[in-house]
Amino acid sequence: MSLYGTMRTGVSGMNAQANRLSTVADNIANANTTGYKKASTQFSSLILPSTGGAYNSGGVTTDVRYSISAQGTFTYTTSSTDLAINGKGFFIVQGSDGQEYMTRAGAFTPMDDGTLQNSAGFTLMGYEYSSTEDPTIVVNGFDGLGEINLSSGELNAKGSAEGALDVNLPSNADDGYEKKTSLKAYDSQGNSRLIEFNYTKVSDNNWTVEATYDGTSIAGPIAMVFDSAGKLTSPSPAIITTTPQTTGGAELAELEISIGGSTQLASDFDVSNGKIDGNAASKVTGYEISDDGVLSLKYSNGELTPKYRIAMASVQSPDNLKPLPGNVYSQSNESGVVVMGYAGTNGYGSIISGALEDSNVDIAEELTSMIESQRNYTANSKVFQTGSELMETLVNLKR
């Protein structure tokens, strides 16, 4: 038996317990850190070969592991830009160095420039929203991502393009009977434009409708023909198409107004459906984020306009990601390649707006580990002390 080996074994044990205490200290310090994933120290024996009947004491090595894939609980907040992931996946954020990272820390706050940054200063990334198709993503990389910027829609106006106007025309009215109604449309600058519709009875089951703006005809007169049951048979398709108008530098675009639901029955003139799209200029009053990651701007007129799709990422082995300062992660050789996707698809979790994922640290478990490490450190120090005393006894034999 080597006394020096015994002392080195004791030192190895003390170092291992010190490493364990370091992870415990980190875990306790970050018990309230949003999205933090606890670290743990795993021990592995180091055995040296024995020769000539003499036992050579070895030691212990440590390996730090992270419980990144373990889901934390949720704390609900009043901020719609606080985000948590329920299930698999990570938010993509960009640091001040221009590099993209992964994180579960979703405490995002709108900044002066319109970007969303979490408490560590990382900016949330995503794709421009499209109503016709999902954005094309690079499955194994961060190419194509852009900053989510809420100020991109601070003031919004949308010109009208289509609508519907369904009325009942009294079948018992005399020939020459006239009735007017109107719809409010919006031009390209958000100005409201009143369009009038004038209905005139020509003969039994036959009417005309003319659309005018500011006294000028923009469609018609258009013949409306009804069958014996009072259902509209002409025009086909049952659409009024107006001509574009330019006023004060703003354009009132061509409008397609559906009239297919109009009837001719023995009842008073009545509008059963009158609507048109578009909106006046309005400001952003809030934000909404759906569970599939679509971020919509809420305007003062009550309209919700989708602007961005929050991107998500994952790897084959999340627990082997490389942790970095700021509670973010980067790809490592052991984690596998980054795979991109969207919330709620292909196994990715859903996004919870107005919630934060808590740290997955169990304080009771950490305190227990701390006590165990303290006891084991003391025991290893006794091994070192005993080896030192035996060495002193051996040296004193010469005296």
Give the integer Cα–Cα distance in Å for 202 and 259.
Answer: 18
Residue 369: phi, psi to the nearest 5?
-65, -35
> Got the DSSP string for 77-123?
-S-TTBEEEESB-EEEEE-TTS-EEEE---B-EE-TTSBEE-TTSPE
Give the integer Cα–Cα distance in Å for 167 and 178.
Answer: 13
Average pLDDT over every residue of 278-296: 87
Q: How far is CA 118 from each of CA 133, 301, 310, 338, rounded to the nearest angstrom?
A: 29, 29, 15, 22
* CATH code linked to domain 160-277: 2.60.98.20
Average pLDDT over every residue of 269-296: 90
pLDDT band, residue 142 (cuts 50/70/90): confident
Q: Which structure tokens are listed for 348?
A: 């990715």
Task: Provide, rounded to the nearest whole percent, the portion of the chain with pLDDT above 90.
Answer: 66
Amino acid at 38: K
**What's the pLDDT score for residue 150?**
83
pLDDT at 252 over 80: yes
Give the integer Cα–Cα distance in Å for 298 and 247.
Answer: 29
**What's the pLDDT score for residue 136?**
63
Give the integer Cα–Cα distance in Å for 336 and 37.
Answer: 19
Amino acid at 4: Y
R_g of the chain computed on alpha carbons: 36
pTM value? 0.70
pLDDT at 53 over 80: no
The gap from C-alpha 72 to its chain's centroid, in whole angstroms, comes to: 18
Tell me the angle at which helices 3-29 and 363-396 cross, rounded to the nearest 10 degrees.
Answer: 160
Give the integer Cα–Cα distance in Å for 19 and 32.
Answer: 22
Q: Which structure tokens are listed for 96?
A: 């001040």
pLDDT at 266 over 90: yes
Q: Which structure tokens are listed for 38?
A: 């606890």
Q: Which structure tokens are listed for 14?
A: 């003390």
Q: Which structure tokens are listed for 187?
A: 């031009």
Q: Integer distance in angstroms from the first to the last C-alpha of the chain?
A: 23
Residue 78: phi, psi to the nearest 5?
-100, 5
Task: Provide, rounded to the nearest whole percent, the portion of the chain with pLDDT above 70.
Answer: 95
Q: Which helix (H) or strand (E) holds 41?
A: strand 39-46
Hunting for tokens 């009325």 — which residue is that? 167
Q: What angle do CA 84, 88, 94 make, to 5 degrees?
A: 60
Every domain of the chain with CATH number 2.60.98.20 lies at 160-277
Mean per-residue pLDDT over the chain, rounded: 90
Residue 315: phi, psi to the nearest 5?
-135, 165
